[in-house]
Chains A and B, each alone.
Chain A
Amino acid sequence: MDTHKKIREHISTLSDGELSDADLELALAALQSSDGQQAWNTYHRIGDVLRAQGTPELSDAFASQLAERLRAEPAPGKRAARGNGAPARAEAAGEAVAAKPAIIPLS
C-alpha cells in the first residue's frame, strides 16, 4: 500500500474514532494537508448520505406472519449444562448457526 493510501486509511479509521494512539500524530499531521482534509470531509459526507436515506417499512402482515411461525416452533428452552469442564467456546452452537451460510463462496 502506498504512503498516501496508508495515511488515508488512518484518516478513515480516525473518522470512526478507532485509530490507535501510535498512528494518531501521523493522521493529525495529514489532516493539515488539503488532500487529508478532502479525504476526511468526503468520508463524513458518505456517512451523512448513507444515514439520511430511508429504510423500507415492514409490511402490516410481518408481525402476524412471524408470530404464527414462531407459534409453530418448539420453545427454545435452556441448553444442557456443559459437562467435563470442557472449555466454553463463544456462543458455540449459535455461532455455528450464524456462520453456516458463510461457507458459501461469494465470488
Chain B
Amino acid sequence: MTTERECDQLLVERVQAGERQAFDLLVGKYQRRLMRLVSRLVHDPAEAEDVVQETFIKAYRALRHFRGDSAFYTWLYRIGINTAKNYLVTQGRRAPTSTEADAERAEAFDDADSLRDINTPESMLASKQIAYTVNAAMEALPLELRTAIVLREIEGLSYEEISEVMACPIGTVRSRIFRAREVIADKLRPLLDLPVDKRR
C-alpha cells in the first residue's frame, strides 16, 4: 500500500523530473487545505487566496531542493505559514502581542452581547454565542498560539508534525496549544457555567 506521504513524494519526484502537471495534482490536493489554514491567519478571503497562490509559487521554485526528509504537506504548510506571517507584516498588520491580545479579547467579548438580542431558540443562540466567543478569542491570540491550535484542531497534525511546520521543539508545541486553549476556555467559562436558559 502506498501511504499518502509516499504518494506525494512520487508526485514531487515527477515534478523534479520535469513533469509540471504533477505539481498541478499536488495543487489540486492541497489548495483547499492550505486555504483553510491560511484563512485562519489572514482573514480576508481574497488576501488569503493571494497568500495561498504565493505559497504554491514559492513551493514550486523550491521543489528542486525537496528531498522528502519531511512530509511534503508539512513543508508546504511551513511555507504557507511563513508567507502569511510575511504578508501580515508587510500589510502593517502585526500579529497581536499578549497585551494587545488582551485588549482585543476584551473588546471582542463585549461585542458578544449583541448576539444576545437575536431572537432564536435558546439552544441555537447558546451555540452561536459559544462559536462567536471561540472565534473572537482565536482572532485575538498571538499568531504562534493561533497557528499551533489550528494545525492541531483543524488540520489534525501531530505534535511532531507541528514542531516541523513551526520549527520549534515539541515541548513548545504542547505549551502553545495548551496556552491557546486556556485563553479560549477562560472566555468560554462564563457561558459554559450557566444553564442554557440563563445565558441571555
Contact = CB atoms under 8 A, between A and B. Distances in A.
Interface of A: 5, 8-9, 12-13, 16, 18, 38-39, 42-43, 45-47, 49-53, 55-56, 58-59, 62-63, 65-67, 69-70, 73, 75-79, 88, 90-95, 97-102, 104, 106-107
Contacts of A92: 65
B118 interface: no
B36 A47 contact: no
Contacts of B64: 76-79, 93
A8 B189 CA distance: 15
B48 interface: yes
29 contacts: A8-B178, A9-B178, A16-B152, A38-B192, A39-B185, A42-B189, A45-B130, A46-B153, A46-B188, A49-B134, A50-B149, A56-B45, A56-B48, A62-B31, A63-B27, A76-B63, A76-B64, A90-B69, A90-B70, A94-B62, A97-B62, A98-B62, A98-B75, A98-B78, A98-B82, A101-B85, A101-B89, A107-B94, A107-B96
| B interface secondary structure, majority | helix
Interface residues of B, number: 72
Interface string B42-69: 0001101100110011101111111101
B175 A99 contact: no
A71 B67 CA distance: 23
B25 interface: no
B31 A58 contact: yes
Nearest to A5: B182
A43 B182 CA distance: 8
B134 A50 contact: yes
B104 interface: no
B35 A56 contact: yes
A102 B167 contact: yes
Interface stretch (B3-11, B14-22, B107-115): B14-22
